[in-house]
Chains A and B, each alone.
Chain A
Amino acid sequence: MSKFWDMVDAETKAKAEDFIKRIKSKKIVKRVLPNVSMDYPLDKAFKSFEALTESKEQREIMNSHYTGADGEK
């Protein structure tokens, strides 16, 4: 037992011990991110990257970031 535990009153000790019991009983669970486990196709991603770097439209988007010529203003 820790030095601090000796300073704790009985009611608080009961609450803290109950907390440990609930962790052990697996009643407290994580909320996890949605996810789909899959093998990632790096070859397709590379071809997609290639298409993006060769795209005239993407180049226009890049230029419009610096000129403000995006038609949105």
Chain B
Amino acid sequence: MEKNKGRDYQYLLEDFSEEKIRDRAAFLIKTARLLIKNLEVENHILINNELMEQAVIDYFADIKRLKDFHGMDKVDPAKIAAYMAHWVLKRKPLQIKVSVSEETYEKMPFLLDINEWFASYILISMLLDMRNRLVTDLETLRRWNSFNLTLIYFLIYRSVSPQALELATVAVTITPPYKLITEGGD
């Protein structure tokens, strides 16, 4: 009997195409490198290629199940962003180098949450075009900041599922058709 029969991922290449999976792997590697460069953490963070590859495989395997169950040809951007962010978060492909000092952690506390930030950036940028701001009023921007802070807290501390992220991505793209009841609380 062939070793690993029925356990390989050849079907993903056939279902999605080599090009799509190759591009997605390159996208994650390129975005991770950019994040590391722009946060100026090249000396402290490295990319684990195997974990990055696993995130891509898990993403496509998950999307394949979703497509098969729901009879979808392709999935929409909300699902792409949510499932991609989820698997990045789950696999945690960015690793802290062992030699990081206490002073560096004090200066860059986000190092401890680097995968959560990466997942958050993936979620937002795969959904919204951050080069084109549509709204400049302070109230909307305040809500946007609040969403960002709630999102990162959720990614770090809460039980995250791709379905919950999908709901969040759908919610963030709507303009509420009704007025909020109140800004206050109990």
Interface status of A12 (Cβ within 8 A of chain B): no
Task: Assess the B70–A64 pair: CB atoms within 8 A.
Answer: no
Task: Assess the A49–B122 pair: CB atoms within 8 A.
Answer: yes
Do most interface residues of chain B lie in helix, strand or loop, or is the interface mixed? helix
B70, B80, B125: which contacts A52 (Cβ < 8 A)? B125
Do most interface residues of chain A lie in helix, strand or loop, or is the interface mixed? helix
CB distance from B127 to the nearest CB of A (A): 9
Interface status of B177 (Cβ within 8 A of chain A): no
Count of residues in A whose CB is under 8 Å from the partner chain? 31
Task: Assess the B149–A50 pair: CB atoms within 8 A.
Answer: no
Interface status of A44 (Cβ within 8 A of chain B): yes
Task: Assess the A40–B80 pair: CB atoms within 8 A.
Answer: yes
CB distance from A14 to the nearest CB of B (A): 30
Task: Assess the A35–B124 pair: CB atoms within 8 A.
Answer: no
Task: Assess the A48–B38 pair: CB atoms within 8 A.
Answer: no
Task: Assess the B70–A48 pair: CB atoms within 8 A.
Answer: no
Task: Assess the B121–A64 pair: CB atoms within 8 A.
Answer: no
Interface status of A39 (Cβ within 8 A of chain B): yes
Task: Assess the A42–B27 pair: CB atoms within 8 A.
Answer: yes
> CA of A16 to CA of B142 in the docked complex: distance in angstroms?
57
Task: Assess the A62–B117 pair: CB atoms within 8 A.
Answer: yes
Interface residues of B (CB under 8 A from A): 23-24, 27, 30-31, 34-35, 38-39, 66, 69-77, 79-80, 109-110, 117, 121-122, 124-126, 128-131, 142, 145-146, 148-149, 152-153
- Other contacts beyond A38-B77, A53-B121, A54-B38: 14, CB < 8 A: A33-B66, A39-B74, A40-B74, A46-B27, A46-B31, A47-B129, A47-B131, A48-B129, A48-B130, A49-B121, A49-B122, A51-B131, A70-B149, A72-B149
